[in-house]
A = this chain, B = another copy of it.
């Protein structure tokens, strides 16, 4: 079976919670990020992204390259991700001026492409001879992948082919180099695999499919590939360890990999490409490999917030059940990648597990990555912040207490922008006769299969979801695992079918009205007893939202608070600063009398209330203690 989530033709006009975020991306993130690309943003590290393309164009024409290349080896991808976000945004709301700006950038990019189709400013400006000699570190395939994604999105949004043509030519060049000439090699940072699948769907060019398959199937077959590649060159970008196959998921052929290892973004980008290819080619063995890796991530290596990659050391997965709160890395991009992976798993199999995780990652880690005003971003999403230790101890340098502005390595902000702008591709899917409602996303949706409906909901704060069918057909609605009870009606009549793998499918006619009512109660969450970090802890969730406790709401001391799990959690009020619903818990506050580290005198306890806010809103009110997992009283 192949389900389509990432289809090009489906249209989604958002409303409600998502619309607010998409507006923020359109009005704040995209313009700000463009000013960064142009080096016009104040108080920001130089980006030089557009200038790199201009200088590469000069190099192609044999002119002096001016101030040359500046930035990370993967600097080009910032432009790609920005263009992709712009494309999705334009498909939500036309904007002539923005489109003209994007067209101009695309022209600059086209000028930077070499005659043979090669496109990468780092190697074009710095040293053409080094092309394709450092797949381990060079990020050429990574940058091409991102630009392919942008090209497909821009074509789908505007119908304009210029960037798509550039990237078709680039794909052709890559095909010739890797398949026709070399018969070896695979990217140090996977990404192009999933991008080539998009190119294949967008253009129908089978070489793109073949190339994706080649990179996926070649990976890990020669476990000394990078070692030999390193021995054959006399330069390095960062001195990466060519023998650390775990880091780049190359220790075994992908079908034999059992554990999610290494750099977490690389891992989930790879798995996304694998799942995409498995669905496209109906490759059951590859799907099973994806399923094994999926289970390893979601049942052993994922935070309750949908964060993955628990250590800063290599921005990587570690081992099963190793999920520290205070030193968590949990990169925003990794959770975005986990959403990609989930959405491609849904193309193989309609199973609510995937959508549950997609939702967990989105409403918690992905949204937490962005300040509520859209102006600052977290890369790292810890589950505990204690000023004085966080960002201070040498082991906690990465767990910042406040979102900084644009980074030198600017992967997460544009990644969040493109994800939010294309939310409809994750919320909805379809096959020839059914529309899938994976996530609850208010707005109007038209499906490629002809169906159409309007979805009304205040989700994630409102728990009623109404689907007003405009053009009938089968509709498969997800019942999330977190909802202990639910009610589903069609035209006021109860639907009693039990969910199958988390979905209930209903046949609808035009003008039918379906109402889903989900469980709106807040709950305590208990961790597996196998996670050492979490023994004795509870976390609060309501719907898809994981809550956290900040000092500012709790007398600036959450460490001495313990939650009473034998009384009910209360849904409190909407906090106007955060535009979020808060939750109150009965708690006790402990105090230990002496200024000593340890005492045999039991602490004095006092009853009190503790206030929780949604995790995605943390860090928006100044430096502050924060905890997701609290001790139970």
State the A residues within 8 Å of B (CB).
Answer: 298-300, 302, 304, 311, 313-314, 316, 318-324, 326-327, 384, 386, 388-389, 392-396, 482, 484, 523-533, 535-537, 539, 541, 557, 559-560, 562, 565, 590-592, 595-603, 631-632
17 sample A-B contacts, Cβ–Cβ < 8 Å, listed by A number: A313-B395, A314-B394, A318-B395, A320-B388, A322-B395, A323-B597, A327-B395, A389-B532, A525-B600, A527-B592, A528-B596, A528-B597, A529-B559, A529-B560, A530-B559, A535-B559, A536-B632
The 3 closest A-B CB pairs, nearest first, are A536-B631, A529-B560, A318-B393
Contact between B386 and A532, CB atoms less than 8 A apart: yes
Least CB distance from A451 to B in Å reads 34
Report how far A599 CA is from B525 CA in the complex, Å.
Answer: 5
Contact between A602 and B526, CB atoms less than 8 A apart: yes
Which B residues are CB-close (under 8 A) to A600? 482, 484, 523-526, 541
Report how far A592 CA is from B394 CA in the complex, Å.
Answer: 35
Known: A600-B524, A631-B535, A631-B536. A316 touches B394 (CB 8 A): yes
Least CB distance from A394 to B in Å reads 5
Q: Which of B389, B395, B532 contacts A559 (CB under 8 A)?
A: B532
Q: Which of B320, B527, B601 contacts A598 (CB under 8 A)?
A: B527
Q: Which of B300, B389, B536, B598 contacts A562 (CB under 8 A)?
A: B536
Which B residues are CB-close (under 8 A) to A531? 559, 597
Contact between A525 and B395, CB atoms less than 8 A apart: no
With A529-B559, A536-B632 given, name 19 new contacts (CB 8 A).
A299-B597, A304-B598, A311-B394, A313-B395, A318-B395, A319-B389, A321-B388, A321-B389, A323-B597, A324-B395, A389-B532, A524-B600, A524-B602, A525-B599, A526-B592, A526-B600, A529-B591, A536-B537, A536-B631
Least CB distance from A319 to B in Å reads 5
Least CB distance from A503 to B in Å reads 19
Report how far A594 CA is from B326 CA in the complex, Å.
Answer: 26
Residue in chain B with minimal CB distance to A327: B395
For this chain, the copies found in one complex come to 2
Least CB distance from A29 to B in Å reads 31
Residue in chain B with minimal CB distance to A302: B597
Contact between A598 and B525, CB atoms less than 8 A apart: yes
Contact between A601 and B632, CB atoms less than 8 A apart: no
Q: Which of B313, B327, B525, B592 contacts A529 (CB under 8 A)?
A: B592
Which B residues are CB-close (under 8 A) to A632? 536
Report how far A266 CA is from B356 CA in the complex, Å.
Answer: 51
Contact between B322 and A389, CB atoms less than 8 A apart: yes
Residue in chain B with minimal CB distance to A589: B529
Report how far A323 CA is from B597 CA in the complex, Å.
Answer: 10
Which B residues are CB-close (under 8 A) to A311? 393-395
Report how far A535 CA is from B313 CA in the complex, Å.
Answer: 26
Least CB distance from A400 to B in Å reads 15
Which B residues are CB-close (under 8 A) to A602? 524, 526, 565
Contact between A598 and B392, CB atoms less than 8 A apart: no
Least CB distance from A378 to B in Å reads 20
Residue in chain B with minimal CB distance to A532: B386
Report how far A316 CA is from B395 CA in the complex, Å.
Answer: 11
Contact between B319 and A526, CB atoms less than 8 A apart: no
Contact between B393 and A319, CB atoms less than 8 A apart: yes
Least CB distance from A315 to B in Å reads 11
Least CB distance from A37 to B in Å reads 34
Which B residues are CB-close (under 8 A) to A592? 526-529
Report how far A615 CA is from B314 CA in the complex, Å.
Answer: 33
Residue in chain B with minimal CB distance to A557: B529
Report how far A541 CA is from B600 CA in the complex, Å.
Answer: 9
Contact between A597 and B300, CB atoms less than 8 A apart: yes
Residue in chain B with minimal CB distance to A298: B597
Known: A559-B529, A597-B299. A394 touches B318 (CB 8 A): yes
Contact between A384 and B536, CB atoms less than 8 A apart: no
Known: A321-B389, A389-B322. A598 touches B528 (CB 8 A): yes
Least CB distance from A500 to B in Å reads 19
Least CB distance from A365 to B in Å reads 14
Report how far A298 CA is from B322 CA in the complex, Å.
Answer: 30
Which B residues are CB-close (under 8 A) to A532? 326, 384, 386, 389, 559
Which B residues are CB-close (under 8 A) to A562? 535-536
Least CB distance from A389 to B in Å reads 5
Which B residues are CB-close (under 8 A) to A321? 386, 388-389
Which B residues are CB-close (under 8 A) to A536? 536-537, 562, 631-632
Report how far A304 CA is from B600 CA in the complex, Å.
Answer: 12
Contact between A526 and B388, CB atoms less than 8 A apart: no
Report how far A395 CA is from B326 CA in the complex, Å.
Answer: 13
Contact between B393 and A322, CB atoms less than 8 A apart: yes
Least CB distance from A292 to B in Å reads 14
Which B residues are CB-close (under 8 A) to A314? 394
